[in-house]
Amino acid sequence: MSPEREPIGVIGTGYVGLVTAAGFAELGHEVHGVDIDADKVARLRRGEVPIYEPGLGEVLASNRERLNFTTELGPALERARLLFVAVGTPPTYSGDADLSAVHAVVEALPQPSAGSDGHALVMKSTVPCGTGTAIMRRFAEQGKGSFAYVSCPEFLKEGAAVEDFRHPNRVVIGDEAGWAGDAVAALYEPLGAPIVRTDIASAEMVKLASNAFLSTKISFINEIANVCEALGADVGEVARGMGLDERIGPHFLRPGIGFGGSCFPKDVTALKQLAGNSGYHFQLLTAVIEVNELQKRRVVGKLHRHLGSLVGRRVALLGLAFKPNTDDMREASSLVLAARLLAEGALVRAYDPVAEEQARALMPAGVEFADSALDVLDGVDAAVLVTEWPEFLALDWDAAAERMSGTLVVDGRNALDPEALRRAGLSYEGIGRR
């Protein structure tokens, strides 16, 4: 079959699945998106985009004739031999990945009709190393041994997912050296990225190790920032000086109030847990997680230092999403910060240009929501930049200073211009920044 016309199935239409479906439709493939959420499928069929992801709506709209959405696995299985799986694998209480949605797909897959082409399950969801082998064993038990299995982990970043689909740094494909790995490689070939072919377990590990390494980089620079703060160095200059070393590189050296999102916190814990389950204590990751937890709370210490007791103090949170250009609130640092501030007796006001609806469902009771960046600052003793949305970087700080009753601004992302704030009569406090 010509890869240009390979129909594909995508099971799960969340951030990863929907972007994958849209991306392959844009490359000219007929795509069958499957989701158990009937309401979401109805919205997708009406042309609505259920998540906030820049550029995604446009790609879906301009490729509608190739995109089909359904709650049934049947049509995908009938039309497509490659079935991408992009369902959620959230953490369980034990820190392991919850694979129930993956298992549900494996169980629900019907036996392919006799004489039909071979099918392959292509795993995009982040799963523990060893999952592919377990799924193939299950296929054999169920008499569905004609299903091939490919691990094809996803590396896209929320907020830049469409561009990341079009221009991946690499595509990792792990299989048993059969037809399915070649078919997946042919699908990705037009993107021109290096294709890394491995066995299944190694492909699963590339994903976990990559996320763990990037998280380690962030916790590392956060600790350097904290030490800079104590010693009078400027972490921005330190990171620039470090990043020019090709072996270190400039990326993921931005200190802040900790990493969040649907991947890093979950995947670091899952890898630590996975190692532990097999008898190895992954000490480094234990520290990466702990540093991240403490980093979210450091802002409270900064507020104390300037304001003393926080009882009755009004604090504004600028931004709530775990990073800009997304409405995703999963593991957002704002959730921990708001809970800590309320526990200290502070009055918490919050504003996010996009994530308010999602935030309302998750934020602790008592947080007051405002309609704009200036409104949230009305009468507050201090403001904390939590998410570096462009609108906060362009804020009129003279107008902001007039609205605030205090003068303290804590820049939790080192993203603001300290001089502009000082000119407006505000006191600036960054993370390891002079």
CA count, 13 A, side-chain hemisphere, 308: 1
Only segment of 34-42, 152-160, 230-238, 359-367 that touches ligand UDX (CB under 6 A): 152-160
By CB under 6 A, name the one of 52, 139, 322, 389 that touches ligand UDX: 322
Three-class secondary structure of residue 11 per DSSP: strand
Q: How far is the CB of 222 from ligand UDX (least distance, A)?
A: 7
Count of residues near ligand UDX by CB under 6 A: 19
Mind spelling out the 3-state secondary structure of 166-234? HCCCCEEEECCCCHHHHHHHHHHHHHCCCEEEECHHHHHHHHHHHHHHHHHHHHHHHHHHHHHHHHCCC
Of the pair 220, 369, the CB lying nearest ligand UDX is at 220
Strand 368-369, strand 382-385: pairing: unpaired
Only segment of 78-86, 107-115, 149-157, 346-354 that touches ligand UDX (CB under 6 A): 149-157
By CB under 6 A, name the one of 155, 165, 351, 392 that touches ligand UDX: 155
Q: How far is the CB of 253 from ligand UDX (least distance, A)?
A: 6
Of the pair 60, 288, the CB lying nearest ligand UDX is at 288
Q: If we measure between CA atoms, which residue out of 102, 272, 360, 196 comes closest to residue 264?
A: 272
Q: If we measure between CA atoms, which residue out of 87, 29, 22, 83 comes closest to residue 53?
A: 22
Asked if 165 is part of the footprint of ligand UDX (rule: CB under 6 A), the reply reads no
Mind spelling out the 3-state secondary structure of 301-353? HHHHHHHCCCCCCEEEEECCCCCCCCCCCCCCHHHHHHHHHHHCCCEEEEECC
Of the pair 121, 263, the CB lying nearest ligand UDX is at 263
Q: How far is the CB of 210 from ligand UDX (least distance, A)?
A: 7
Q: Residue with the closest Cβ to ligand UDX?
A: 263
Of the pair 99, 332, the CB lying nearest ligand UDX is at 332
Three-class secondary structure of residue 67 per DSSP: strand
- Give the integer Cα–Cα distance in Å for 203 and 184: 14
- Applying the rule CB under 6 A, the residues between 208 and 267 that interact with ligand UDX are 211, 214, 218, 252-254, 256, 259-261, 263-264
Q: How far is the CB of 243 from ligand UDX (least distance, A)?
A: 10
As given in the structure block, the two tokens for residue 247 are: 């072996």
**Catalytically annotated residues:** 263
Q: How far is the CB of 206 from ligand UDX (least distance, A)?
A: 11
Q: Mutual orientation of helices 200-231 and 283-307 as an angle, nearest 10°?
A: 30
Binding site for ligand UDX (CB under 6 A): 154-158, 211, 214, 218, 252-254, 256, 259-261, 263-264, 322-323
